[in-house]
């Protein structure tokens, strides 16, 4: 069977670890060339070393527009024309995010700066890169159930940032459909990566959240890969402005 992404070129942010690394590795396995973009330059290089010759390490801090521009420029300098952009990088400030009456402005600003403004910058320059190719393409955002149901009283900044991302995706999908650029959101549920170690390392907190997942287990980065491949490939050619929930049923409750 032919790999589903053969001939495609993708950039994935937050690709040094976690969900981003899993997506980037799966894209390579499916035949794509992949730019592993991350603010952790050493981590990106290590991931690329393991992925092989169809991978490129790109240093990119999504909260800094100059860094984002430089990252995309590095892809162009390598002679690559992008077909797919995955805006996956983000932060979740456990222990600092809080109910709104207790939320520090610095925590709010840091969360919005990375998750929402960083996604805005990634998508802004990603759309420019896709339009330069003239053949459309796919933009995929990593969303969150917190954008849909306000999951958890202590996630005020995070929930707000992710809700903004979901709205951004719909607006960009509508604006750039005439250019053949599709924009969608994949919504992982509680997925155990280093980002959520504050929960996964606390047996009581972990049991509480897993207990609210109808399929009865935590998600893994591998659970998210298939939806990403679908949206990056021709199989998802008629999907845009949509949310694809890969959350074990969390948002059905």
Torsion angle in degrees (nearest 10) through CA of 241, 180, 64, 245: 30
Distances, alpha carbon 164 to alpha carbons 103, 131, 146, in Å: 18, 24, 11
Work out whether strand 33-38 and strand 9-13 pair parallel, antiparallel, or are unpaired. parallel
Q: Which residues contact 50 (CB under 8 A, 6 or more apart)?
A: 25
List the catalytic residue out of 72, 158, 176, 190. 158
Q: How far apart are CA 81 and CA 126, in angstroms?
A: 11
Q: Is 176 among the residues known to form the active site?
A: no
For residue 164, the tally of other CB atoms under 10 A from its CB is: 17
Q: How far apart are CA 150 and CA 144, in angstroms?
A: 10
What would the two tokens of residue 81 be? 């024309």
Q: Which ranges of 64-145 would DSSP assign to H, the alpha helix?
A: 65-77, 105-111, 118-133
Q: Catalytic residue numbers? A: 158
């Amino acid at each position: 069977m032919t790999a589903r992404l053969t001939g495609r070129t993708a950039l994935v942010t937050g690709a040094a670890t976690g969900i981003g690394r899993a997506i980037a590795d799966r894209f390579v396995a499916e035949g794509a060339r992949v730019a592993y973009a991350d603010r952790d330059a050493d981590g990106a290089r290590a991931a690329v070393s393991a992925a092989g010759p169809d991978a490129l390490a790109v240093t990119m801090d999504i909260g800094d527009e100059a860094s984002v521009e430089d990252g995309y420029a590095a892809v162009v300098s390598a002679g690559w024309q992008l077909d797919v952009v995955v805006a996956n990088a983000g932060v979740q400030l456990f222990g600092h995010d809080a109910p709104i009456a207790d939320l520090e402005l610095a925590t709010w600003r840091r969360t919005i700066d990375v998750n929402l403004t960083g996604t805005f910058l990634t998508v802004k320059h990603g759309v420019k890169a896709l339009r330069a190719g003239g053949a459309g393409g796919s933009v995929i955002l990593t969303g969150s159930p917190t954008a849909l149901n306000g999951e958890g009283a202590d996630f005020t900044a995070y929930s707000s940032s992710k809700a903004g991302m979901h709205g951004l995706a719909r607006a960009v999908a509508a604006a750039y459909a005439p250019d053949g650029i599709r924009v969608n959101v994949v919504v992982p549920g509680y997925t155990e990566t280093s980002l959520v170690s504050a929960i996964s390392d606390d047996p009581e907190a972990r049991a509480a959240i897993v207990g609210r997942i109808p399929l009865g287990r935590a998600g893994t980065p591998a659970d998210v890969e298939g939806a990403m491949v679908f949206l990056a490939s021709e199989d998802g050619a008629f999907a845009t402005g949509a949310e694809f929930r890969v959350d074990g049923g969390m948002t059905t409750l």
